[in-house]
């Protein structure tokens, strides 16, 4: 009965009573050319019953719960139901009280129609007033689409999303946009109108449209548009000073209005990739209620792992990083989510046995995602011993402590640069892959996930290009034909979680990266997205490949092949377990001695070459010392001295 307490409700009822009375009287007036006293008497006698029956029928169909300013098709359906049922009840009433013989049947039909038109029409007018819908008001009543301060906008799309965006934009004068037309992606509806606004052409016909209408912005509201078509649109708008905005995927706009989620086009929108579908049940079954540790949690991949793992409600989320500030930032971010998961930040280094052992004893992690690594290729060319110490020795120590503490699963994140490595970074990541594969089968299930570059990660090419464009250029590209595989950070992490949940131990998963992207094309697109013209507004400068860089990356080592999984973006690398464990762990001991004593960089590089025959070697080396470290003891005695590591 809360409805009866609303002040506006009684105003609505009064309005409907008046409309019902007018509809009923109009039905009599239409049917009878002259309202005789007898007809007027029948009208007045039956009018109270008509009003009561129809109002009761509207109540029954929840018609009075809808707000006038948001009148919808559902409200119209309820109105029709209420009117039809009310008319049938009215017939029964008239027959029961012997009034039916004095009323024409056409009066009942006309009354039903007039009721729907009158009551529905008033509600529609109220909605049009609040939404200022130009299909009714523009140039007719007291509202006019657009003003001097409004930006002229074209909407690319003619579907439901585009129509909804149009209604939201035109209903919010504060947005100050004037929609001047629609662009049909396929050109099938050119010349038609949506809410009185014309469909001015297709994307391929955009040049004359731009010249005629001079839009300041284009809103892309067509989910069916592929990355290639968006690229074409950017090319066609290049140099015209037109800003493009896009409505992201449904998952990005699940809450709030469409217009609230309009954003500038990002470079990831231009990647020709299908959306990732995550098997939530599989991943939740793996992580829910578990104690999960993430290494490198302050980095771009590690922090996104932390965000996504948190959504699966682990009991504890242990964040491990040696860098204090990034760790503090992700801890503060996750702490403000209101999750029941206990977030535990730990300052620590994967290169120290004692520090790791202390953390594992205290927090007892059950699952590990190992994202900590040195990743910058040119930097590691200058510092090969540090790359070996962190990427290889650190991974071995972390994996060893994990086995000692009976961790259930260990997921290592690797890189396509580990394939036929041409750099110290790639070689150390390949040896780290070999280490965790060799350790599998000792109680802990070890899984490796290998993928390419991620857009927007710390030190990646995208943030560099953004800074260079913001400063006026030039944008530096290593070579004209250089290509790389790219993924977005959230996409890569989703696939890591999926692959990790699939793994039973010993697998090396490869994430399907799509087609390789030319870095030159990426640079040009980013310049265009800034509303500038490549080589006119921003120069592109070729610098040549840096030490350790390749022209093209690969995802498979010689002798490896791919096996499909149930998920089309995740493959299993076959024939990747051929690791000579004796040789591998003997080489690890060599690394330990070099790091502990001589610091012989060239000797360390030679060991990498021995382990990975396809590795060509480091370009930044120093002279070998006279004394070369010597291993002592048989393979069975090879072990790390935990007291000094």
Extract the tokens encoding 186: 């396929």
Coil/strand/helix, residue 323: coil
Residues 454 and 305 sit within 8 Å (Cβ to Cβ) = no
Exposure string (b/e) for 489-525, b if CB count within 10 Å is 16 or more?
A: bbbbbbbbbbbbbbbeebbbbbbbbbeebbbbebbbb
Extract the tokens encoding 223: 């989910």
Residues 558 and 420 sit within 8 Å (Cβ to Cβ) = yes
The pairing of strands 540-542 and 316-321 is: unpaired
Report which secondary-structure segment, H or E, holds 162: helix 160-170
* Rounded CA separation 133/131 (Å): 5
Question: Among candidates 225, 45, 207, 26, which has minimal Cα distance to 111?
Answer: 26
**How long, in residues, is the chain?**
645
- Cα-flanking dihedrals φ and ψ of residue 218, to 5°? -125, 125
Residues 380 and 548 sit within 8 Å (Cβ to Cβ) = yes
Question: Among candidates 457, 459, 455, 391, which has minimal Cα distance to 424?
Answer: 391
Q: Which listed residue (54, 417, 429, 550) is catalytic?
A: 417
Residues 517 and 483 sit within 8 Å (Cβ to Cβ) = yes
- Give the other-Cβ count within 10 Å of 609's Cβ: 15
- Per the annotation, the verdict on 228 as an active-site residue is no
Q: In terms of DSSP H, where are the helices of 215-290?
A: 227-237, 280-287
Give 563's DSSP letter: E
End-to-end CA distance of the chain: 74
Peptide bond just before 474 cis, omega within 30 deg: yes
- Cα-flanking dihedrals φ and ψ of residue 619, to 5°? -90, -15
Question: Among candidates 215, 225, 272, which has minimal Cα distance to 246?
Answer: 225
Exposure string (b/e) for 195-230, b if CB count within 10 Å is 16 or more?
A: bebebbbbbeebeebbeeeebbebbbbbeebeeebb
- Cα torsion for 388, 455, 332, 275, to the nearest 10°? -120
Extract the tokens encoding 85: 């049922």
| Residues known to be catalytic | 417
């Amino acid at each position: 009965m809360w409805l009866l307490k609303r002040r506006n409700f009684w105003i609505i009822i009064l309005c409907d009573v008046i409309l019902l009375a007018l509809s009923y009287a109009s039905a009599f007036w239409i049917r009878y050319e002259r309202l005789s006293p007898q007809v007027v008497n029948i009208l007045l006698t039956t009018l109270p019953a008509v009003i009561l029956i129809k109002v009761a029928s509207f109540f029954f169909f929840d018609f009075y719960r809808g707000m006038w300013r948001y009148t919808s098709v559902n409200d119209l359906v309820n109105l029709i139901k209420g009117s039809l049922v009310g008319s049938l009840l009215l017939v029964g009433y008239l027959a029961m009280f012997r009034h039916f013989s004095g009323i024409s049947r056409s009066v009942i039909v006309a009354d039903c129609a007039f009721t729907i038109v009158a009551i529905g029409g008033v509600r529609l007018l109220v909605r049009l007033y609040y939404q200022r819908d130009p299909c009714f008001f523009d140039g007719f009543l007291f509202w006019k689409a657009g003003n001097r301060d409004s930006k002229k906008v074209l909407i690319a799309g003619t579907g439901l999303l585009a129509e909804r965006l149009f209604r939201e934009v035109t209903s919010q004068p504060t947005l100050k946009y004037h929609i001047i037309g629609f662009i049909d992606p396929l050109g099938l509806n050119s010349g038609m109108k949506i809410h009185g606004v014309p469909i001015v052409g297709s994307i391929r016909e955009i040049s004359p449209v731009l010249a005629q209408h001079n839009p300041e912005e284009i809103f892309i509201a067509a989910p069916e548009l592929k990355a290639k078509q968006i690229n074409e649109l950017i090319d066609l708008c290049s140099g015209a000073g037109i800003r493009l905005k896009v409505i992201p995927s449904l998952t990005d706009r699940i809450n709030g209005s469409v217009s609230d989620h309009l954003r500038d086009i990002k470079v990831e929108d231009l990647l020709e990739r299908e959306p990732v579908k995550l098997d939530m049940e599989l991943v939740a079954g793996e992580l829910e209620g578990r104690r999960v540790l993430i290494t490198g949690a302050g980095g771009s991949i590690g922090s996104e792992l932390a965000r996504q793992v948190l959504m699966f409600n682990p009991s504890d989320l242990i964040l491990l990083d040696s860098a204090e500030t990034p760790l503090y930032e992700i801890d503060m971010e996750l702490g403000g989510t209101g999750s029941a998961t206990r977030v535990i930040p730990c300052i620590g280094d994967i290169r120290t046995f004692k520090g790791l052992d202390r953390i594992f004893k205290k927090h007892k992690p059950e699952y590990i995602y190992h994202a900590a690594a040195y990743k910058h290729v040119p930097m590691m060319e200058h510092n090969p011993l540090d790359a070996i110490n962190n990427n290889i020795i650190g991974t071995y120590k972390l994996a060893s402590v994990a086995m000692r503490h009976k961790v259930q699963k260990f997921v290592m994140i690797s890189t396509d640069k580990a394939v036929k490595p041409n750099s110290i970074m790639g070689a150390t990541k390949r040896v780290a892959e070999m280490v965790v594969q060799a350790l599998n089968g000792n109680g802990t299930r070890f899984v490796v996930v290998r993928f390419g570059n991620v857009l927007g990660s710390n030190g990646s090419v995208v943030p560099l290009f953004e800074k260079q464009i913001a400063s006026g250029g030039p944008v530096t590209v290593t070579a004209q034909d250089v290509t790389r595989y790219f993924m977005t950070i959230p996409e890569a992490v989703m696939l890591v979680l999926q692959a990790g949940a699939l793994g039973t131990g010993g697998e090396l998963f490869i994430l399907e990266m799509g087609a390789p992207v030319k870095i030159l094309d990426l640079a040009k697109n980013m310049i265009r997205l800034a509303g500038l013209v490549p080589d006119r507004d921003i120069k592109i400068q070729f610098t040549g490949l840096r030490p350790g860089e390749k022209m093209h990356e690969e995802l498979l080592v010689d002798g490896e092949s791919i096996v499909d999984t149930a998920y089309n973006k995740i493959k299993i690398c076959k024939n990747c377990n051929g690791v000579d464990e004796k040789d591998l762990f003997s080489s690890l001991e060599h690394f330990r001695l070099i790091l502990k004593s001589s610091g012989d960089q060239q000797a360390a590089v030679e060991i990498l070459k021995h382990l990975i025959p396809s590795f060509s070697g480091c370009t930044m080396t120093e002279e070998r010392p006279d004394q070369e470290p010597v291993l002592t003891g048989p393979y069975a005695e090879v072990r790390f001295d935990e007291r000094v590591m």
